[in-house]
Structures are given as structure tokens and as C-alpha cells.
Structure 1
Amino acid sequence: MPDESPGGAPGAVPGAGSAKLIIVDDHPSVTESITLRLLDAGFAVLPPVTDVEDIDWALAPDVAICDLRLLPGLSWGGAIRHLSSHGCRVLAMSGVATPEQVLDAIEQGARGFVEKTSVPAEFVSAVAAVVEGHHHVSARLAGYVLEDVRRRPLADGELGPVELGVVRAFAQGDSAAEAARRAGLPEAELHALLARVFEVVRRRRRDRRYRLTTREREVVRLVGHLGMTRHEAARELRVSEDRVSDLLAGVRDKYVACHPGESRNLAPLSAAIRWANELGILP
């Protein structure tokens, strides 16, 4: 974490120069201000871009600080996935993003969220956490997570009292060190806990976004559980075989989206069988 000089300005971050950062934003005044903050902290900052598709990957940026509300080419969700696919860690930033947009950014793989208006010390601390391979939880992000939990209660085993206590500490404005002390955790355990929190947030949002429709569940039951052929399922549902194939393709796409690392070449029938087993679909 950065040292702070009098007045709250961040000092140099140990090891900062070993990571290359790139800023994705279309406001020159913003990129100039952020670049100066990061250079003062000792980071190596590449020339900013206004679109992730403009990044020269030969420069091998390690971390991208990405505005959620611009991205004229890819959608911002696609942009985060694009950055991650190149091995680039993402810190999302915005001054106007909605709670859903911020949480969606986490779902797509961002390792944290920071407001553009954050004081320099907080901004640099957020970047330092992501550079070190950890996660950053701002008070605003923590508040969004807690509100999401309030509106959509947790399932058994998702987040326990310790995890929720840490998120509440961040929501109250605690730093990572303060949250760790409050929870009685060593710093390494705090980082592992935050990784679990982010994974739960991502899984909950993926599951909700890619929940099977009633028709898709029927196809999973018939084909994945009962072992019917497409022809038999089409006759049972009184639709065409092409419609059953389309439904199975949708089932496969949702399965892959909900299971990061799963091959996009997964056969639709295999996806239907796996969904049937995971969801406990009965005859």
C-alpha cells in the first residue's frame, strides 16, 4: 500500500514500477489527472486510449483502469472480458455508473471499483491492490453488495458472518488494513476472503442473468434427464426439431456463461445433462 505524505497525498508504492498500467477513458482532463497521480506513486503508465480495441497489446499492460460509461466499440461488459482475455487485470472506475452497472462490471471480471472523484491516496491504493493481484472494495461498491444481499437474500453457504462483517467495514469507509484488524484477520486471509466475496457476487449475478426459462427447463428435463432424442422432445413439446435445437443451443450458451473456464465447444446435449444433474431436475 502507498505511503502517505502530509495532506493525504500518496507517496511511492513499493514495486510499482514493475507493473504497466493503461487508462481507458475519453476525457483528456481525466486521463491527465489520473496519469499524474499514478506517476507520482511510481507506476509505469502507458499512453491512454479511448477504446480497448485501440490498445497495442505488444506493450503488454498489466492493469487497465477502465471507465464504465464510454467504450464506444465493444459494450463495457465485452470490453472488460476483452481486457481479461489478454491477461490484463481491470479496475473499473466511473463518476456516474449505477449500482447495477458497477456490480455487472464485477461480474464480468473487474477486480474492483473506484470513483473518479476519489482522493489521490484512495485511488492509488485501489490501483496498488489490483497491481498486487488482489481486489479493491470501495465504500460505494461495498454498499452496493450489501444492498444486493438485502434485496436478494443469500443462499446457504454463500457469504457468512465474517465475510459480511468485512464488507460492512468497507461500507463504513474502513481501509483494507482497518477491515482486517476489525475482523481479526491477517492481511493474507483478508485478500482470500475478498476473493471469495467477489466470486460469490459474480456467481449470483451470472445465475440470475442466465437462469433457464420455463421452456429451456422442459428441454433439459426431457433431453438431459429422461434421455429423449430431439425428435421425441419436439413431439412431446409440440414444436419443431429445429426449435428444440435452438433451445438446446441456448441451454449450452447459458451453461458456459455460468461456468467460467468451460469450453464454448461444449455439446448442447452435454450441457443439458449437466444442467439436469446440477439443478436436480426431476421427471
Structure 2
Amino acid sequence: MTTHPEKGGRIFLADDHPAVREGLTLRLLQEGFVVCGEAENRASLLAAIDPSRADIALVDLTLCEENGLDLIADLRARDIPVLVYSMHEDADTVRLALDRGACGYVAKRETSAVLVEGVRDVLAGQRYLSPRVVAALEASPPQATPIGQTGALSEREGQILKRLSLGEGNIEIASALGVSVRTVESYYARILVKLHLDGMKALRKYAIRQFKPD
């Protein structure tokens, strides 16, 4: 565990990339924060979050095969503010994270200074949306989407959903479609938002029902 004089608050990191967590730790320590714990998935977060005494959790929305949106409720139930730090900048994902209880949202393409600003604002009890996130929300007003409406999916999203129904894993799907595993995970996040489903378990069940033989 990294130690540092506590000047700015205790931060828990949830991201499935070790290099990202290392980079965030170094940047946050420079600003006087304490990185009090880290996790790469939901199980490791739930095991470590209570002993960490975190003041805030910085959460990615793609954790291995899991949906980071599920973690928001876990953390809010413990009265821990959540700042989402994600590559997903689309308005639907942002709104879903905020609806789940996130106190702020920072796009990963922002500068580290923007992230630090977001951390400070959320620690101060304020809501924070980074410039790219604000622009995405302004450019895409909310629209109602019927729950489970597969027609809302793109052709590629439909292909991924069908392969998921056949029991294929992320590596198999990525190889078959000629994309990276990370790209497949990004598609999962978008599909979950469009179908209003809570996590990969619900998505797999939906896919199986949708594509089961007549």
C-alpha cells in the first residue's frame, strides 16, 4: 500500500488496467491525495473497500468482463461518493452512471488536471462533469428507449449480442469480428445502456432469450 501524508483525501481506484492505476496513483500523490486501495473487479473492490476508509472512489466503467455501473450502487450504499473515470463519453452512458448515483464523470481523454479538479469537487460535495462530458450531454438530449428493444442496436452490436448468446467469450468474439477485446467490452457497455440492462449477467440472459431457436 502506498502511503502519503493525508492532505487531500483518501481515494480508492477501480480500474482493470494495472498501468492505469499506477499512473493515477503517481498523479494523485503529487496533489497530496492518499490512494488507500485499488481493485480490478467487483469482488476485489467489495473485499477491500470497507477497510480502506475511502473518502471517494474513482471508478472505470469497464472492469474485465464486468460492468462498472454495478459498482456505483455498491459504493453509494456505503456512503462513498463515486467519480466515474471512463473512456465512454456518450451521453446515454453518462446519464445512466449519474442515475445510478455517480457524483461526477470525467472522460479519460481529458487532461490529468481536469481529473484532479473533478476529484477535488466531488470531495467537496459538489457534482462534477468534465468538459467533454458536458459537450456530449448538450449534443444529445435524452430520448426514451423502450426496454429491451433490440432494434435500437447497430448491426455490429447485434452481431456481438448473437455471439454472446452462443456462449462465446470476449477473446472468441474479438477474433471472429477482427477487433480488440477492449473494443468488445466497449460494445457491451453501449448495449447495456441501450437495452437498460444491469450488468453482464442480465445481458447474457437477454441474449440467450433473444436468439434461442424457435
**Which bin holds the TM-score, normalised by the shorter protein?**
0.5 to 0.7
Contact 1:106–1:112 under 8 Å retained in 2:
yes
The equivalent of 1:187 in structure 2 is: none
How far the C-alpha of 1:111 sits from its partner, in A, is 1.2
SS of residue matched to 1:37: helix
Paired residue type of 1:117: R
Q: Aligned with 1:17: secondary structure?
A: coil
Structure 2 SS opposite 1:121: helix
Query: Greater Rg, structure 1 or structure 2?
Result: 1
Q: Which residue of 2 aligns with 1:117?
A: 109
Q: Which of 48, 60, 73 pairs up with 1:67?
A: 60
In the alignment, structure 1 residue 38 sits paired with structure 2 residue 28: yes
Structure 2 length normalisation: TM-score? Answer: 0.58
Structure 1 residue 209: deviation in Å? 7.2
Matching residue's letter, 1:84: R
Give unmatched runs, 5+ long, in structure 1. Answer: 1-14, 153-207, 212-283
1:96-131, Cα deviation, whole Å (9 max, x unpaired): 453322221111111111122322211111111111
**2:14: which partner in 1?**
24
Deviations 1:29-48 (A, max 9, x none): 11111111110000011231
Separation in structure 2 between the aligned mates of residue 78 and residue 135 of structure 1, nearest angstrom: 20
Q: Give the TM-score taking structure 1 as reference length.
A: 0.45
RMSD: 2.5
Q: Relative to structure 1, is the Cα distance of residues 78 and 29 closer, same or farther in structure 2, using a 3 angstrom cutoff?
A: same
Cα distance in 1, alignment partners of residues 129 and 25 from structure 2: 21
Residue 63 of structure 1 aligns to which amino acid in structure 2? I
Mapped to 2, the partners of 1:83 and 1:72 lie a distance apart of 19
User: Where does residue 88 of structure 1 map in the other structure?
Assistant: 80
| Residue 166 (structure 1) aligns with | none
Partner AA of 2:119 in structure 1: V
* Counterpart residue number, 1:259: none
Residues 103 and 144 of structure 1 are in contact (CA less than 8 Å); yes or no, is this contact kept in structure 2?
Answer: no
Identity of paired residues, percent?
27
- In 1, the alpha carbon distance for the partners of 2:81 and 2:146 equals 24
Rounded to whole Å, the distance in 2 between the matches of 1:128 and 1:44 is 13
In the alignment of these two chains, the number of paired residues is: 140
Q: Greater relative contact order: 1 or 2 (C-alpha under 8 angstroms, separation 6 or more)?
A: 2
Structure 2 unaligned blocks of 5 or more: 148-214
Q: Secondary structure at the match of 1:45?
A: strand
The structure-2 alpha-carbon separation of the partners of 1:116 and 1:145, relative to structure 1 and needing over 3 Å to count, comes to closer
Please give the alpha-carbon distance, in whole angstroms, between the structure 2 residues aligned to 1:117 and 1:79: 22
CA distance 1:19–1:124, shift in 2 (3 Å): same
